[in-house]
């Protein structure tokens, strides 16, 4: 088929970055069958996220991941990121040339992960719009955009890493609760002499993002109205178009090889089960896995735990056998479907943004055990601002505290209050994606901006 326009999509192939970008592109592609979307991503990540049913007007291209030819997999997540960033943007430019030849139409707009700040220059050179998808929450973007003010509010740089991380900052971005250094993304406190590749990337992003045509988020304005209003003043367009998890989920769910949903189906009592998952990157340290397993075994609430196979080996001897009647441990679970299942009453999570949104969309309160990046701030917002869950005490799982927090959230007034609040938040999200809702309007604006309004 001949296409009248062509959009280049540049993915960041780590954590849960590329999947939400693909979800946005799917929605756009459905709205404009005459536009071709070329999706540039590494081969491994394409394999992981592309299902058979990608729209005909989305074409995926593999770009180099930067690993030396024939080398074994990168030693760490951070090393893989470093190699990939070193190969960018050359890897993407090569892909874009190939895609333009194949489509016979030049790329007229770039949609990229916000981390890929060099898209500002790629787009400027071609005189085309640059739309950046920020894959985390607006509150996390706000703290990055106020990096200078936050850093100034820390009396001495040593405090950012030292014993004063509990210090409450004298500056707070509009709409956020009072913050401690410990609540913030460590990348904000960049070491200028030796920045990590991710910190340097985020720093560049903060500088370039105001040049974008639009910043897009998988979120809804009503979750943090003051933050959204403030960020609108910082960008040409600031468009929350989610949550994507409220769209109709395909049936049957893909990736339910372990039969999680039929297991939930058999539970007699609504909201009786705990779902546990720490996203796509994190494996908690062994002592915490043990503490959490012992707490689940002690409490005897039905539980479903998505845990990578290698990590499951660290579970206590005999745990799976002893808990078989009321618990399941699986290597992967269809999370958005699970969180919308009526049998689930609590989500134990690392506080990744997609997980939080999916929990809101399911009306399920959370217990957060944040690990890195935006997760600490998300956990703080869950507990202090949105009041839809709590963080684990002292930031780590210990058996006795974990037993207490699970019991409080599953069978006390505190859990009921969090559930009421999360259901109210879900209603706001539903309104946002409904007719005339803020996210629906923002999505229409996005279609206009990228030149494919119907």
Enzyme catalytic residues = 17, 113
37 lines the binding site for ligand U2F (CB under 6 A): no
Binding residue count for ligand U2F, defined by CB under 6 A = 24
Least distance (Å) from ligand U2F to the CB of residue 104?
34
379 lines the binding site for ligand U2F (CB under 6 A): no
- Is the torsion defined by CA of 315, 318, 323, 325 positive or negative? positive
Residue 106: which residues within 8 A CB-CB, separation 6 or more? 6, 100, 126
Least distance (Å) from ligand U2F to the CB of residue 424?
22
Least distance (Å) from ligand U2F to the CB of residue 124?
25
Per-position x/- string for 129-168, each x denoting binding to ligand U2F as judged by CB under 6 A, each - no binding: ------xx--------------------------------
13 lines the binding site for ligand U2F (CB under 6 A): no
> CA–CA separation, 116 vs 138, rounded Å?
18
CA trace torsion 136, 138, 139, 143 (10° rounding): 90
- Give the position of tokens 């607006």: 138
343 lines the binding site for ligand U2F (CB under 6 A): no
Coil, strand or helix at 443? helix
Q: Which is nearer to ligand U2F, 36 or 366 (CB)?
A: 366
What is the per-residue burial (b if ≥16 Cβ within 10 Å, else e) of 221-256? bbbbeebbebbeeebebbbbbbbbbbeeeeeeeeeb
Apex 101 CA angle, 97 and 106, nearest 5: 75
> CA–CA separation, 342 vs 72, rounded Å?
44
Least distance (Å) from ligand U2F to the CB of residue 299?
21
212 lines the binding site for ligand U2F (CB under 6 A): no
Coil, strand or helix at 389? strand
- In this structure, the chain runs to a length of 454
Binding range to ligand U2F, per CB under 6 A, among 13-21, 402-410, 424-432, 433-441: 13-21
Q: Which is nearer to ligand U2F, 36 or 202 (CB)?
A: 202
Out of 212, 354, 439, 442, point to the residue binding ligand U2F (CB under 6 A). 354
333 lines the binding site for ligand U2F (CB under 6 A): yes
Instruction: By CB under 6 A, name the binding residues for ligand U2F.
Output: 15-17, 135-136, 277, 279-282, 306, 332-336, 352-355, 358, 373-375
């Amino acid at each position: 088929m001949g296409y009248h326009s062509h959009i280049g999509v540049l993915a960041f192939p780590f954590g849960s970055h590329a999947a939400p970008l693909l979800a946005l592109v799917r929605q756009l592609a459905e709205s404009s069958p005459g536009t071709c979307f070329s999706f540039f991503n590494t081969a491994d990540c394409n394999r992981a996220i592309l299902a058979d049913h990608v729209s005909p007007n989305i074409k995926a291209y593999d770009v180099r991941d930067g690993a030396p030819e024939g080398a074994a997999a990168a030693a760490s997540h951070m090393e893989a990121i470093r190699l990939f960033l070193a190969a960018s943007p050359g890897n993407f430019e090569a892909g874009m040339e190939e895609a333009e030849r194949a489509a016979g139409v030049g790329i007229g707009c770039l949609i990229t992960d916000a981390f890929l700040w060099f898209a500002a220059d790629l787009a400027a050179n071609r005189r085309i719009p640059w739309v950046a998808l920020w894959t985390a929450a607006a509150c996390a973007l706000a703290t990055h955009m106020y990096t200078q003010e936050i850093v100034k509010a820390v009396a001495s740089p040593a405090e950012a890493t030292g014993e004063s991380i509990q210090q409450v900052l004298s500056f707070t971005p509009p709409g956020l609760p009072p913050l401690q250094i410990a609540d913030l993304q460590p990348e904000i406190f960049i070491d200028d002499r030796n920045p990590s590749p991710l910190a340097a990337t985020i720093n560049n992003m903060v500088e370039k993002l105001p040049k974008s045509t639009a910043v897009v988020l998988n979120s809804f304005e009503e979750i943090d109205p003051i933050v959204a209003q403030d960020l609108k003043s910082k960008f040409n367009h600031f468009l929350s178009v989610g949550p994507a998890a409220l769209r109709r989920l395909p049936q049957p769910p893909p990736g339910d090889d372990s039969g999680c949903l039929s297991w939930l189906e058999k539970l007699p009592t609504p909201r009786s089960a705990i779902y546990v998952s720490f996203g796509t990157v994190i494996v908690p340290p062994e002592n915490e896995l043990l503490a959490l397993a012992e707490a689940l075994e002690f409490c005897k609430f039905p539980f479903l735990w998505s845990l990578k196979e290698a990590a499951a080996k660290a579970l206590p001897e005999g745990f799976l056998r002893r808990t078989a009647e009321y618990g399941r441990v699986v290597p992967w679970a269809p999370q958005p479907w699970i969180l919308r299942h009526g049998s689930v009453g609590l989500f134990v999570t690392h506080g990744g943004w997609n997980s939080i949104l999916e929990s809101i969309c399911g009306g399920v309160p959370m217990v957060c055990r944040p690990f890195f990046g935006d997760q600490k701030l998300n956990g703080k917002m869950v507990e202090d601002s949105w009041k839809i869950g709590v963080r684990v005490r002292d930031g780590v799982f210990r058996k006795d505290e974990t037993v207490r927090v699970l019991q409080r959230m599953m069978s006390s007034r505190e859990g009921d209050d969090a559930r009421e609040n999360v259901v109210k938040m879900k209603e706001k999200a539903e309104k946002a994606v409904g007719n005339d809702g803020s996210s629906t309007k923002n999505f229409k604006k996005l279609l206009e901006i990228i030149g494919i309004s119907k």
